[in-house]
């Protein structure tokens, strides 16, 4: 079978040949339909995040997948059922650990998990994959074409759950939200705030000139576009309003701290970005004081668990088609993977703590690779 693999830090991804995997007891064989590409894939390609499985020099990419059960192998799944695989698995040679047993693999510390397609385990960019049935989440047939968006949506389901939990000790009534970043994660999250979470006022911060498709999406959602070049994050509260929630999806490290200024009293900022090292000056005393005296919270969040995938499937069903069609700017077959990874062969280093890779033409928002048409 064909798969898409990469040698991290040594160039772009290639189509390789691999044997069709045999499902072990408890595992099903899944034929992959589509797999999404995101910023994390570029970090893996560049070699700044993740890594190959022990004993291998290449990693099969892909962690945002949807496929169809080819062989249930006695697991209780049904042949022909569409499924979305979750990403974390126990480390090699370990059947389970406390985090996986409790259903909280997303809370496992480093060393207590691998992530398929990211770190220590091959991913889903292959014609066939196997997985324990417990990590395969059924998705209705009509949502399968967009099923590769379930994983990124699940990232926000988790982050919002944790942000809310941090405010659960009092009668919190959030109305305003600021999303930092107009990449796929930022736009999907802005849509969740306006369409499914019911926030009254939503703002989305980017750094694009008008006219731009991402600004059109933000405005069609009824949200307000904020240009960070005119209004930096720490000036948003004064220029617009102090925010009940900030959701950081830029990976721009100063934003984590500037978010404290953007928050209203009692607000919470969820931090999602994964920047490289970057040293800069902040007035730590002032920010510390503000966090304390205004009851503010900062919550870091990574990955997601099966519950978040299930919630994400409901969210996906509620998001309008125009939005999904606008965010997914291209779906490509194996014969044109360079279009699915437009900047993978020419990563540009940055000095601002960002990953330096990402879609290189200005209109690509999110792409996917199609292994099998429906
Ligand atoms: P993208 O790279 O597609 O999006 C990042 C966006 O942030 C881009 O639109 C970029 O703008 C924008 N941006 C960066 N710096 C600034 C700035 N100073 N002002 C305004 N906008 C800025 O990534 P994704 O949407 O896929 O992911 C977002 C972040 O979340 C990444 O850091 C990623 O690593 C992280 N992530 C974290 C996960 C987790 O579990 N915690 C899971 C998935 C992703 P431009 O296009 O102009 O560069
Ligand atoms: Zn992803």
Domain ranges of the chain: 2-138+333-370, 155-300
Which one of the ligands is nearest to 39 CA?
1
| Cis omega (within 30 of 0) for bond into 211 | yes
Residues 156 and 152: their CA atoms lie apart, in Å, by: 7
Residue 161, phi then psi, degrees to nearest 5: -60, -45
pLDDT of residue 357: 43
Q: Is 303 annotated as a binding residue?
A: yes
pLDDT of residue 344: 75
Closest approach atom of ligand 1 to CA 250: 7
CATH of segment(s) 2-138+333-370: 3.90.180.10
pLDDT tens digits, 115-158: 999 999 999 999 999 999 999 999 999 999 999 999 999 999 99
3-class DSSP assignment, residue 193 = helix
Q: Are 136 and 116 in contact (CB under 8 A)?
A: no
145 lines ligand 1 (CB under 6 A): no
Q: Is 151 annotated as a binding residue?
A: yes
Residue 8, phi then psi, degrees to nearest 5: -55, 135
Probe residue for ligand 1, chosen from 185, 259, 275 as the CB with the greatest number of ligand atoms within 8 Å: 185
Instruction: Give the ipTM.
Output: 0.99
Which one of the ligands is nearest to 162 CA?
1
pLDDT of residue 354: 42
Ligand 2 center from residue 35 Cα (angstroms): 10
Q: Write out the two tokens for 138.
A: 């059924």
Weakly modelled stretches of the chain, pLDDT under 50: 346-359
Q: What's the full length of the chain, in residues? A: 374
Secondary structure letter of residue 196 according to DSSP: I
Which one of the ligands is nearest to 61 CA?
2
Ligand 2 center from residue 265 Cα (angstroms): 32
Which one of the ligands is nearest to 208 CA?
1
pLDDT of residue 358: 46
207 lines ligand 1 (CB under 6 A): yes
User: At CA 105, angle to CA 99 and CA 109, rounded to 5?
Assistant: 75
**Residue 210 vs residues 189, 322, 366: alpha-carbon distances, Å:** 21, 20, 19
Ligand 1 center from residue 257 Cα (angstroms): 16
**Residues whose beta carbons lie less than 5 angstroms from ion ligand 2:** 38, 64
353 lines ligand 1 (CB under 6 A): no
β-strands 176-180, 201-206 pairing: parallel
372 lines ligand 1 (CB under 6 A): no
Cα dihedral 64, 36, 259, 318 sign: negative
Q: Which residues, listed in sequence order, are joined to residue 227 by a DSSP beta bridge?
A: 206
Fold of the domain spanning 155-300:
Rossmann fold (3.40.50)
Q: Are 87 and 303 in contact (CB under 8 A)?
A: yes
364 lines ligand 1 (CB under 6 A): no
The backbone region for 304, taken as left when phi is positive above 0, alpha when psi lies in -120 to 50, beta otherwise, is beta
49 lines ligand 1 (CB under 6 A): no
């Amino acid at each position: 079978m064909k798969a898409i693999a990469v040698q991290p830090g040594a160039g772009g991804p290639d189509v390789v040949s691999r044997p069709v995997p045999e499902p072990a007891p408890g595992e099903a064989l899944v034929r992959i339909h589509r797999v999404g590409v995101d910023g994390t894939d570029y970090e893996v390609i560049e070699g700044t995040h993740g890594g190959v499985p022990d004993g291998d020099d290449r990693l099969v990419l892909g962690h945002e997948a949807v496929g169809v059960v080819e062989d249930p192998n006695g697991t209780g799944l049904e042949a022909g059922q569409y499924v979305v695989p979750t990403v974390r698995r126990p480390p090699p040679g370990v059947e389970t650990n406390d985090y996986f047993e409790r259903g909280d693999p997303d809370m496992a510390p480093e060393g207590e998990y691998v992530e398929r397609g990211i770190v220590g385990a091959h991913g889903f960019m292959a014609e066939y994959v196997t997985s324990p049935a417990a990590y395969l989440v059924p998705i209705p047939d009509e949502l399968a074409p967009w099923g590769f968006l379930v994983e990124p949506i699940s990232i926000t389901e988790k982050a919002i759950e944790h942000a809310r939990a941090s405010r659960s000790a009092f009668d919190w009534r959030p109305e305003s939200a600021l999303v930092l970043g107009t990449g796929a994660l930022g736009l999907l999250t802005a849509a969740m705030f306006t369409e499914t979470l019911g926030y009254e006022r939503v703002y989305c911060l980017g750094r694009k000139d008008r006219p731009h498709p991402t600004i059109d999406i933000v405005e069609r959602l009824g949200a307000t576009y904020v240009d960070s070049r005119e209004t930096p994050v720490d000036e948003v509260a004064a220029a617009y309003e102090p925010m009940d929630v900030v959701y950081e999806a830029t990976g721009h490290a100063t934003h984590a701290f500037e978010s404290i200024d953007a928050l209203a009293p009692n607000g919470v900022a969820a931090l999602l970005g994964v920047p490289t090292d970057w040293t800069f000056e902040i007035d730590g005393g002032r920010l510390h004081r503000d966090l304390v005296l205004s009851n503010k919270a900062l919550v870091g969040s990574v990955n997601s668990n099966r519950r978040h995938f299930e919630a994400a499937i409901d969210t996906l069903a509620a998001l309008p088609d125009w939005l999904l069609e606008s965010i997914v700017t291209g779906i490509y077959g194996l014969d044109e993977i360079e279009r699915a990874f437009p900047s993978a062969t020419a990563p540009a280093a940055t000095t601002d703590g960002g990953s330096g890779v990402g879609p290189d033409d200005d209109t690509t928002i999110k792409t996917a690779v199609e292994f099998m048409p429906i």
